[in-house]
Amino acid sequence: MQLTFRKKLLLTFFIYGLVLVASTAFIAFSYSKNSIENIIMDNAKSQFAKDKNLLKFYLDNVKAKLDAIKKSYIFQKHLDRNGYTDATVEDLFLSIARSDNFIMQLRLLNLKGDEIIRVDRNICYAEPYLLTYDKLQNKKMRYYFQEVAALPKDAFWFSHIDLNVEYGLIEKPYKPVIRVGTPVYKEEKKVGVLIMNIFMKKILEQLHSSKLYNTYIVDKDGYFILHPNPQYSFSRYKEPHVKLQDFFKNAQKILTQKEYFSNSLYAAKLELHTPDELTLIIEPTDEFLKSNHKTLYTKFFGMTLVILLLSIPISFFLSKPYAKLKNRVDEANEDLEKRIEDKTRELQELNASLEEIIEQRTHEQNILLSLFDLGDAVLFKWRNDEHWSVEYVSKSVEKLLGYTPLEFMEAKITYAECIHPDDLPHVIEEVNEAIEKRLYFFTHDPYRVITKDGKTKWIHDNTVIVRDEEGEVINFVGYLNDITAIKEQELKLQTLSITDSLTQINNRLYIDKVLQKQHYRLLRNDERCSLILLDIDHFKEINDKYGHLVGDKVLKELTKLIRTHLRESDVFGRWGGEEFMIIAPHTSKEEAKIMAEKLRKLIETHTFEDVGSLTVSFGVTECQKEHSLHTDIQTADKALYISKEQGRNKVTAL
């Protein structure tokens, strides 16, 4: 049977399409299979980099927190107190613990191994708390104390990642921890150590296996720190004591090589500071590999079938007379060209209109921004990143901070680096609070910034929070004013309000405040404190004989003499007239009596200008937890009265 031309053409198109589809499908299938496997392993390598950066970032953050404590003004002042703690340094330790919900313990120990300050948290996200003095322990024989105490200045020590041990046994439920420590120096002399214990459970959970990849962490001996099956995690410390060799034939290469990969896994050293020499292994799951191959087979066979089915009607239509087909194509081309011309003209008109609008808006924006360039206020636009890098800042910033706008734009300096280290925590806290409350606009409490030449300035900051369509914070826009002159005047007035105008020591108002705080520490922490009241003997006779001007001069000379012989922790103030009070923290009644006796002898042997010699009577008492503050003051006053009654120039302790 002879085939017509149209049937021959139809059969030719069909056979050609069949051969072309089969060849293309086979080549594409082979290439895609290899590409998918390569992509899977590349993703495994990327996953390793993310996990490594997560661990390294967090451990570096822990180092930064310890370093921040050592270098903080509050902590350095604490070291000058020779081991005595106060509420300020305790609050510093609590604030650091609150800033990171993974901090398990934060401790300061002296070189004898005695815990000076210790903050504990029972579980992640629980509120940290300060241990009282009676619960502090000696850790001299613990390995971590001995290793940290042997370090040089500015060095850091990291422990193994292991399970927390309490009373010689592994604590259950299991608590993975790591300890980080650093020595503490005071004027080039080692005086103690700082140690921070970190909960590692939540951090390791972020590296946990998924349906796509199995994640393993092993130490240098092949024991598992992390395993997809939780019962094998921390296999060095609990049953069963399985190793990498029990699961992987190529375990030796994984442990000995810095980087190892095959078509089934990727492994490399984490290169952290810990002595474990940890290796992280990323392995695509069988389910993931099978799923990708199954999807690939399904897509290609389906696509082949669809193309074959479509080739029949396509071949049929292609076999129509070329003349008719050409006419239709020509008509379509003419119509298409006309439409393209019309659309091109419309787009040109639209572009011209948009350029005009953009130029007008840009001009208006430049006029507004120039107001900030000419004035003293500074307009900032910060990114929502860790250091608040600057996206835009007005030219007036150079007058305020000394840095040029270009230095900020090129990230040579970030805004967070300009904020005074002591003020940065509460600035961050205010920002986080505003974000949590979903505020659009808020005003910071005044805070300090450090200029390029090292000067300190006070800032008033009004900030707008910019969010995207999903409500995520992307930018902050701040309007900053320099209020240094106002703030310095305010601080001067504050100093004047608590200073006695004659003697330039603390006045009665300030003494009352300190007494209240000291009484609170006694109730909360059993912190000892003694009171010393002193009164000049026969001061009225000095005023009557020499006049009040000489009397005032005697008061000033006496306060200067006493102040130079007190400890830095002692609070000295004028109680009234010729009567003065000394508040002695961490001091027993016996110690306070010895202090008062030294002062009495010092005054007795001193020659005062204009009046020669004079004497002072003392009343001493130690504050009692069961007493009210008023009762303790009355006791000191009674002791002073007894000294007066028994001939003056005496020290009486009750």
Q: Are 531 and 632 in contact (CB under 8 A)?
A: yes
What's the token pair of residue 227?
């395993």
- E-strand ranges in 111-155 read 115-120, 129-130
Strands (E), 431-536: 441-443, 447-450, 456-467, 473-482, 529-536
Whether the CB-CB separation of 606 and 613 falls below 8 Å is answered with yes
| Cβ-proximal residues to 34 (8 Å cutoff; 6+ apart), any chain | none
Q: Give the residues across from 463 on adjacent strands.
A: 442, 478
Cβ neighbours of residue 461 under 8 Å, at least 6 residues apart?
443, 444, 447, 478, 479, 480
Q: Read out DSSP for 553-580?
A: HHHHHHHHHHHTTS-TT-EEEEEETTEE
What is the C-alpha to C-alpha distance for residues 314 and 21, in angstroms, rounded to an integer? 14
Q: What is the distance between the alpha carbons of residues 623 and 568, in angstroms, rounded to a whole number?
A: 20
Give the Cα separation of 583 and 511 in Å (integer).
Answer: 8
**What phi-psi label fits residue 56: left (phi over 0), alpha (psi between -120 and 50 degrees) or beta?**
alpha
- Compute CA distances 394 → 11, 193, 401, 413, 480, whole Å: 74, 45, 12, 15, 11
The answer to whether 578 is a known catalytic residue is: yes
Residue owning tokens 């006419």: 327
Q: Hey, what are 561's tokens?
A: 């003499």
Question: CA–CA separation, 217 vs 109, rounded Å?
Answer: 32
DSSP secondary structure string for all residues of 137-189: -B-TTSHHHHHHHTSPTT--EE---EE-EETTEE-SS--EEEEEEEEEEETTE
| Helix/strand/coil for 516 | helix
Q: CA 264 to CA 291: how far, in whole Å? A: 15
Distance between CA atoms of 619 and 274, rounded to whole angstroms?
58
Contacts of 94 (CB under 8 A, 6+ apart): 119, 128, 130
Residue 266: in which H helix or E strand, if any?
A: strand 266-269
In the Cβ-directed half-sphere of 457, how many Cα atoms lie within 13 Å? 19
The helix, strand and coil proportions of the chain, stated in percent and rounded to the nearest 5, come to 50, 20, 30
What angle do helix axes 548-563 and 589-604 make, rounded to 10 degrees? 130
The residue from 331, 578, 591, 626 that is catalytic is: 578
Q: Which residues are catalytic?
A: 578
